[in-house]
Amino acid sequence: MLPNTSRPGDGRLTHELDPQDQGPQDACGVFGVFAPGEDVSKLTFFGMYALQHRGQESAGVAVSNGERIMVFKDMGLVSQVFDEGTLNSLKGHLAIGHTRYSTTGASTWENAQPTFRSGPRGGLALAHNGNLTNTDELEAWLARRPGSTEVPHKKSMDSTNDTSLVTAMLATVDAPLEEAAREVMPLLKGAFCLVMMNEQTLVAARDPQGIRPLVLGRLEQGWVVASETAALDIVGATLVREVEPGEMVTIDAAGLRAERFAEARPKGCIFEYVYLARPDTVIAGRRIHNVRVKVGKILADECPAEADLVIPVPESGTPAAIGYAAQSGIPFGMGLVKNSYVGRTFIQPSDTMRKMGIRLKLNPLRDVIKGKRLVVVDDSIVRGNTQRQLVKMLREAGAAEVHVRISSPPVEWPCFYGIDFATRAELVAPGLSTEEICRAIGADSLGYISLDGLVRATHVPKDDLCRACFDGVYPVQVPTAQARELGLSENQEKS
């Protein structure tokens, strides 16, 4: 048998596909700008527009004119929440923005960001990408603060709750924002890229592991911070550098100051390379598209197939399919058309439409695939339902054989750092071998890239990457209750 590759049988998955059942979802994109003389609300709008893939449930902007902070946020896509009139009314020289994907059940207006609080020194707005893992400790800290009358309602693992908690913590410190952040940042554990502001100052901070990306850019008349470089490109900012893990950057009328609040212990999320980040984004000096093409080449070496055509599952499987085709010598073609606009509507499909499952999102090009032995390249398998429907659809469209190739290793563990995969019980990989998953999705063969192969494609040292969803080695303490549930040693910090 080929390494990491399996051949078929007649296994079946038990869950039906929910058309809203997406792949892994990121928990947000953040953007901040300090640029006197520029239309910062519009810059923030376009920055968030470029980060829309990181969260599609709500969007918001906080803007300051130096004296007053205004916040506007609502449910929906960036283009649904903001119009020209709204943006024109949000005047100032300093702004932050946020696009949000919520975990189940928390998709409400109240949970949209940026959050806002009044503190002893004025207003404070904050936006967060990631997930904190020590909210118990932080709530205890907040409860001990002099004059603190309130502890936010605790909902474990809800990222918005984390954000409200940090906002409340900062608001209890009677000091300039920079000093308040200096006091609070070292207390936070987990994944966090934060952008925060008062009336005069923008502060950005990244957790000591640098799990989620955050970059600093230069405008002619100011500075930008953003989750991804693609957001710098769209507003015409030049990439200066990444905000370092454990670093805090403060920008105000006096200029930019950078300082460390913790020693850097890099553990960048490897899944950003697989799926989360935009292909045109650059992380650790490498364009994501190029890394994904390289992943496809390694995948072709590790999991070859006898086939006539390589097709991607658009769009996230496309670069790896290009790489697979180049390395294997099998022609590349587009065999599936994606309806890009189905993604996250707020309209629940009818039962009839629900039965259409994957056809709401993907439609096969029959003329291209009829009679062909296909290699189908996708980025990941989470629950397995999507791939099962996909294989069935391709066979119905006339494919002679369907060989599924996956540009990430099996997802075996949940993520506690801001990505909503599923619970461990919902993941297909922990309970089944590759061969069994192949049978379950009905493919002729199935192959995953190895973890070492994926790491090699990133050019980042393995020890500097979080790979926990693949190998279960969590680089930052997992909340006690969840650690127990998964049978991890309590308060583990494995590396």
CB of 263 to ligand SF4, least distance (A): 20
Nearer to ligand SF4, 202 or 449 (CB): 449
Nearer to ligand SF4, 58 or 209 (CB): 209
Nearer to ligand SF4, 142 or 211 (CB): 211
Alpha-carbon distance 123 to 74, whole Å?
20
Burial class of residue 118 (count of CB atoms within 10 Å of its CB; 0-12, 13-18, 19+): exposed
CB of 465 to ligand SF4, least distance (A): 7
Straight-line distance from the first to the last Cα atom of the chain, in angstroms, rounded to the nearest whole number: 33
Both tokens assigned to 80: 């649904």
Catalytically active residues are 28
Ramachandran sector of residue 310 (left: φ over 0; alpha: ψ -120 to 50; beta: rest): beta
Nearer to ligand SF4, 179 or 463 (CB): 463
CB of 413 to ligand SF4, least distance (A): 7
Nearer to ligand SF4, 8 or 190 (CB): 190
335-371: b or e for each residue (b if 16 or more CB lie within 10 Å)? bbebeeeeeeeeeebeeeeeeebbebbbebeeebbee
- Interacting residues toward ligand SF4 by CB under 6 A: 211, 269-271, 415, 417, 419, 466-469
From the CB of residue 462, how many other CB atoms can be counted at a distance below 10 Å? 14
Cis bond before residue 114 (omega within 30° of 0): yes
CB of 328 to ligand SF4, least distance (A): 27
Asked whether the beta carbons of 129 and 418 are under 8 A apart, the reply is yes
CB of 269 to ligand SF4, least distance (A): 3
Alpha-carbon distance 200 to 93, whole Å?
9
Nearer to ligand SF4, 22 or 363 (CB): 22
Nearer to ligand SF4, 442 or 475 (CB): 475
CB of 475 to ligand SF4, least distance (A): 8
Nearest C-alpha neighbor of 468 from the set 453, 488, 449: 488
CB of 25 to ligand SF4, least distance (A): 10
CB of 411 to ligand SF4, least distance (A): 8
Nearest C-alpha neighbor of 61 from the set 96, 100, 86: 96
Asked whether the beta carbons of 25 and 415 are under 8 A apart, the reply is no
